[in-house]
Amino acid sequence: MLMAIDIGNTNTVVGVFDGIRLINHFRVASNHSFTIDECGFIITGLLERLNIDKDKIDQVAVASVVPSLTPIFEKMLNRYFQITPLIISSKLKLPIKIVYHDPTAVGADRIANAVAGFSRVNGAVIIVDFGTSTNFDVVTDNGSFVGGVIAPGPRTSGLELARKAARLFEVRLEKPERVIGRSTAESIKSGLFYGAIGQVDLIVQLILDELGFSAKVIATGGLAEDFAPHSRFIESIYPTLTLDGLRLITDYQTV
């Protein structure tokens, strides 16, 4: 079995595959001060609660955008699973071509999303990943990852707004009852929600204009189900797209 680990700035998502089937997955906070043993206790404990035998896991793939956590997870996997993980990067053999000024600068999560997105639609695709940042990754119909856009995510924008403005505060990220807020909280909620939707739709439109050809638009990420259904362009949501990409990349190493 393969354990796929997606280490993000806010959350870490772990999935276990039996062949191509995702048995189960879970999400934990990305504690940047994790020790090796804390990390091991959490991961092994959650696997046990999900009735997944850790001894049946014989492969691990890791996509990390948190450099300080990457060695912690590597050492944890060696200690608790006796496995040296496959660390996802542009240096691996990939089923897509990265056409970027510096391929090594592309985040592992973006690589995994591009691989899985291209595989899902079997053609040109724009992947919108709603997380700490909102990432737009573009793959052409010949499998070339040509780049994309990175923008602040809705929750990041809300936290920064509350931090910088003394009289403003955090609100729940959800669709408001009306666009015109009748209180400060309603106004902030409306601005964050519709600002995020407007940002996504404008950026996707500009990407399509620049490409000059059509592309499927799909979404993933922890906030995708809250925002993607309200976009004019996003056609499908794949919550485990990044994990699927890790599996595909791992399988491709033996092709």
pLDDT digits (tens, 9 = 90+) for 14-60: 999 999 999 999 999 999 899 999 999 999 999 999 999 999 999 99
C-alpha closest to that of 61 among 115, 14, 12: 14
pLDDT band per the 50, 70, 90 thresholds, residue 73: very high
Q: Can you give the pTM of this predicted structure? A: 0.91
Exposed, middle or buried, 48 (CB in 10 Å: 0-12/13-18/19+)? exposed
Look at residue 86 in the predicted model and tell me its pLDDT.
Answer: 97
Q: Is the separation of the CB atoms in 29 and 10 below 8 Å?
A: yes
Query: Is 109 considered catalytic here?
Result: yes
| Residue 5 per-residue DSSP state | E
Q: b or e along 121-130 (b: 16 or more beta carbons within 10 Å of the residue's beta carbon)?
A: beebbbbbbb
Q: How much of the chain exceeds pLDDT 90, in percent? A: 80
Q: Which of 37, 102, 109, 209 is catalytic?
A: 109
Asked if domains 2-87 and 97-247 share a fold, the reply is yes
User: What CATH number matches the domain at 97-247, 1.10.357.10, 3.40.190.10, 1.10.1200.10, 3.30.420.40?
Assistant: 3.30.420.40
**Average pLDDT of the chain to the nearest whole number:** 93
- Tokens 């796929």 sit on residue: 4
Q: Measured between alpha carbons, how far is 159 from 250 in angstroms, rounded to an integer?
A: 36
Question: What residue ranges do the domains of the chain occupy?
Answer: 2-87, 97-247
Q: Measured between alpha carbons, how far is 30 from 15 in angstroms, rounded to an integer?
A: 15
> Looking at domain 2-87, does it have CATH number 3.40.50.10190?
no
| pLDDT tens string 75-103 | 999 999 999 999 999 999 999 999 999 99
**Residue 211 predicted with pLDDT over 90:** yes
Q: Is the separation of the CB atoms in 142 and 125 below 8 Å?
A: no
Look at residue 159 in the predicted model and tell me its pLDDT.
Answer: 75
Compute φ and ψ for 253, nearest 5 degrees: -65, -20
